[in-house]
Amino acid sequence: MDDLDKYIQQRKDRDPSFAEAYESGYQEFLIGVLLKEARQSAGVTQEELATAIHTKKSVISRLENRASDARVSTLRKVAQALGKELVIELRDQVSKPKR
């Protein structure tokens, strides 16, 4: 575990509101990473994807860099344009390994 991981864990241990915000932000970050990877894997530019779903390149950029508040309908359009299927899953909460 590097110094940053240690700091984050210590901060999460002493500040529950930080821990909650961190986890939420991390999940949004992961969504953006998945979208970007899918687009790049498909060999599509942000501009081409935007055209395919009738939006602006800036919308695609925002999704990839900060997927917070993304509409399910938008995520579905992106998935379809990239030849993917959007899967949303609800799971029982389990204790997560600490990062």
CATH number where 53 lies: 1.10.260.40
96 in any annotated domain: no
Rounded CA-CA distance 99/85 in Å is: 29
Q: What is the pLDDT of residue 8?
A: 87
Residue 68 has pLDDT above 80, yes or no: no
55 in any annotated domain: yes
Residue 22 has pLDDT above 90, yes or no: no
Residue 46 has pLDDT above 70, yes or no: yes
56 in any annotated domain: yes
Residue 47 has pLDDT above 90, yes or no: yes
93 in any annotated domain: no
Chain center to CA of 93: 19
* Closest listed residue to residue 36, CA positions, set 83, 82, 85, 88: 82
Residue 74 has pLDDT above 90, yes or no: yes
pTM: 0.72
Residue 45 has pLDDT above 70, yes or no: yes
Mean of pLDDT over the chain:
89
Q: What is the pLDDT of residue 99?
A: 58
99 in any annotated domain: no
Range of the domain at 74: 3-82
89 in any annotated domain: no
When divided into structural domains, the chain yields a total of 1
Residue 85 has pLDDT above 80, yes or no: yes
